[in-house]
Amino acid sequence: MKEKVSLQTLGSVYRTDKVSHGFCQAYDDKFNVIRDSVKDVLEIGVFFGASILMWRDYFENAEIHGLDTFEGLQGNGHVFKDADKFYKEWENDTDLKRRITLYKYDQGKENDLISFTTEMEKKGISFDIIIDDASHLMRDQQLTFKHMFPLIKKGGYYVIEDVHSSFGGYDVLGDMSNTTLTMINNYVENNELFSIYTDLEPIKKSIKNMELFTTSKERSMTCIIEKK
């Protein structure tokens, strides 16, 4: 049997920052056992497509979905050039389209989140794994969690990446009461799921487990949430 390539190796090939943040090992440990059975993966926040390509090669039997505005405005106010470069490549490349589907939606607009979930429901698409690696804004992370978590299959996983953004540089209140890290800690420590932006109670009953991983590299944080 051919030995499968690790997520760390694939991440290095495609130069995703998930390697430098130390996330690939945490994901490999969690997802390797279900690797062959995964059918649909969604990543919110595409950038130039590095992690989309990594997931495509890692989950060999899956369709990889990517959601982004492709406009280049980041949650910390930075703007990067050629933001639609990967989208244009995908539009014109038959090989890229073979197991990759891209969608233009804005995570920061709740109506877009609702429209996307409605589109998926109409198409009968649900996801084994969803990764939120988009704006890193507290509001966006928590509203996206609310609307996207119902799209996860039973036993699937929802990932909130770069939780260390809760320490500043984004829309963080002085007392950190609005942060995604506070939301996660409240659930892990007190079994309470609270957001100042929205009511999360409807999805609380569907959560089986929530784990926060702090890596040794850059003290980066990612959260993996398992659905019942």
For 103, residues 6+ apart whose C-beta sits below 8 A from its C-beta are 65, 66, 67, 68, 116, 119
For 53, residues 6+ apart whose C-beta sits below 8 A from its C-beta are 14
Q: What is the CATH number of the domain that holds 126?
A: 3.40.50.150
Q: In this structure, is residue 139 part of a structural domain?
A: yes
Amino acid at 27: Y
Using alpha carbons only, how large is the chain's radius of gyration in Å?
Answer: 17
Bridge partners for 68 per DSSP = 104
Q: Cα–Cα distance between 186 and 140 in angstroms, integer? A: 18
pLDDT score for 1 = 56
pLDDT score for 184 = 98
- pTM of the predicted structure, to 2 decimals: 0.95
Tens-digit pLDDT profile for the chain (228 aa)?
Answer: 567 899 999 999 999 999 999 999 999 999 999 999 999 999 999 999 999 999 999 999 999 999 999 997 788 778 778 889 999 999 999 989 999 999 999 999 999 999 999 999 999 999 999 999 999 999 999 999 999 999 999 999 999 999 999 998 899 999 999 999 999 999 999 999 999 999 999 999 999 999 999 987 668 999 999 999
Q: In this structure, is residue 2 part of a structural domain?
A: no
Q: In this structure, is residue 26 part of a structural domain?
A: yes
* CA geometry: angle 134, 202, 108, nearest 5 deg: 25
| Backbone phi, psi, residue 21, to 5° | -80, -15
Q: In this structure, is residue 82 part of a structural domain?
A: yes
Q: In this structure, is residue 70 part of a structural domain?
A: yes
Q: Cα–Cα distance between 161 and 184 in angstroms, integer? A: 12
Q: Cα–Cα distance between 110 and 117 in angstroms, integer? A: 11
Catalogue the E-assigned strands of 25-136. 40-44, 63-68, 100-104, 127-132
In total, how many domains does the chain have? 1
Helix/strand/coil percent split, the chain, to 5: 40, 20, 40
Q: In this structure, is residue 64 part of a structural domain?
A: yes
Paired sense of beta strands 40-44 and 152-160, if any: unpaired
Q: In this structure, is residue 1 part of a structural domain?
A: no
Q: In this structure, is residue 140 part of a structural domain?
A: yes
The answer to whether the beta carbons of residues 102 and 137 sit under 8 Å apart is no
Q: Note down the domain range covering 42.
A: 7-227
pLDDT score for 218 = 62
